[in-house]
Amino acid sequence: MKYHKFIDHTLLKPNALIDDYLKLFSEANEFDFCSVCIPASFLSLAKKHVSSTVKLCTVVGFPLGYGSAKKEEAKKAIEQGAQEIDMVINISKLRSGDFQYVKSEIQSLASINEDIVTKVIIETDYLNESEKIKMCHIINETDAHFIKTSTGFANSGAQIEDMILFKKHLNSEKKIKASGGIRDSQQFLQFINAGAERIGLSAGVKVMNELISSNI
């Protein structure tokens, strides 16, 4: 199995340096990861250094999700070369029961360009089970491609029980990205076996080296 193509090699730390991004790009090229997931302000740098086989992914409404200009943010990122958009929902709107707002916001991004992969970050740490199920139903009704667990900025990230819940309530064409707190190959494989089709990792190199050394 091409495990390297499950990985969105991620750097979203607010204090990261340009050299850190250049290192990330070099690693992504070496391992031929699925994408690099970076802030939009570094997309132009990535275009110069990332192989054409590695996609450019960026985040929108990150990390808190309550901004009101996500569509404009996404459009600009796409103009700068983004091929995948990971957007954070407005968690307050969801928890307040304004489901139409959440659905419309997701669809507004998912409909910008059908060739752009849209992943919807729901920040599972802040949601109860019924809210997670509601998000599955909302995503089913949009053109978004993925549900994504976490930003990595909440207290907890991806959980196996959420994979099981998502698989139960998502339509078959919708995919799952697990992100947040996955730091070794054992966890990585657990999430893939549970149904994740993409894994957001800052520890992508460590995971791949562990898999290679184990002949997996």
Q: Which of 8, 55, 86, 125 is catalytic?
A: 86
Q: Does residue 2 carry a catalytic annotation? A: no
Q: Which of 55, 103, 119, 177 is catalytic?
A: 177
DSSP the chain: --GGGGEEEE---TT--HHHHHHHHHHHHHHT-SEEEE-GGGHHHHHHHS-TTSEEEEEESTTT---S-HHHHHHHHHHTT-SEEEEE--HHHHHTT-HHHHHHHHHHHHTS-TTSEEEEE--GGG--HHHHHHHHHHHHTSS--EEE---S-SS----HHHHHHHHHHS-TT-EEEEESS--SHHHHHHHHHTT-SEEEES-HHHHHHHHHHTT-
Q: Does residue 177 carry a catalytic annotation? A: yes
Q: Does residue 115 carry a catalytic annotation? A: no
Q: Which of 55, 70, 132, 148 is catalytic?
A: 148
Which residues belong to the active site?
A: 86, 148, 177
